[in-house]
Amino acid sequence: MGIYDLAVRTIRSVYSERISTPPVLDADIVFPAAQRFAAAWPEIREEALSLARQLHAVPRFHEVMKEQAEISANDDRDWRVFLLKVYGVNIARNMAACPRLAALVESEPDVLSATLSFLAPHKHIPRHHGPFKGVLRFQLGVSVPLAEDGRPAAVLAIEDVEYRIGDGNYLLWDDTYAHEVWNRSEETRIALLLDVRRHNMPMGLTLFSRLLIVMIGVTARLRGFA
């Protein structure tokens, strides 16, 4: 086990001992801004489709974060990510490329990270756990292909329960629970992923989360994201 994996598991265990929320939460209560992002879905979609026309210029996830090669480079199909914000650090050139989405992200102080995720046809992201329970994952369907039965062809399984997040629909979930993703179609699936600050934690975890968020933001700057 590498240093990164060991650190992540240790941090995850610290939170899991004191936080017992379910895998999926009520977005309209926990993250009321969800409705604002959903309402702007048509504009976000246009910006994302513009990026998709030059998808070769969008990096693969493991090219951005080499520690994630096991889940990103597990097959010969791409998972590309367009990062707008990373733990409080704005990526100015990418924010400028998506002005409507950038304005929304900037208007919500609880949004710590924002990413447009492009999943190639038949790409499978294997089962894994997110690193940090101090944030929640908000996912908005931006351009989601349909299966023959009319349902979204992209499937997110959280603790073996399947969710299909179609265009303009959203889900708020805790990505430290085991999850995996399939794109069971011939088209690229585009989703907006936000890391949202978790509230109502014990004071010690709140302070620890603030420290971790600052440290991750500094790391992002050192890696040249800003």
Is pLDDT above 60 for 1?
A: no
The predicted-structure confidence for 107-131, as pLDDT tens digits, reads as follows 999 999 999 999 999 999 999 998 8
- pTM, full prediction: 0.92
Answer for the pair 85, 112: CB distance below 8 angstroms, yes or no. Answer: yes
d(CA 120, CA 125): 11
Give the Å distances, CA to CA, from 171 to 39, 41, 77, 203: 14, 14, 25, 27
Which of 34, 10, 9 lies closest to 137, judged by CA?
34
**3-class state of residue 190 by DSSP:** strand
Instruction: Give the count of beta carbons closer than 10 Å to the beta carbon of residue 92.
Output: 12
The predicted-structure confidence for 200-211, as pLDDT tens digits, reads as follows 999 989 998 889
Domains of the chain: 22-222 (2.60.120.330)
The predicted-structure confidence for 22-62, as pLDDT tens digits, reads as follows 999 999 999 999 999 999 999 999 999 999 999 999 999 99
Angle of the 99-107 helix axis to the 41-52 helix axis, nearest 10: 130
**3-class state of residue 199 by DSSP:** coil
In percent, the amount of the chain with pLDDT more than 90 equals: 72
Secondary structure (DSSP) of 45-72: HHHHHHHHTTGGGSPBHHHH-GGGHHHH
Please give the single-letter amino acid code of residue 36: R
**Lookup result for tokens 């989601």:** 144
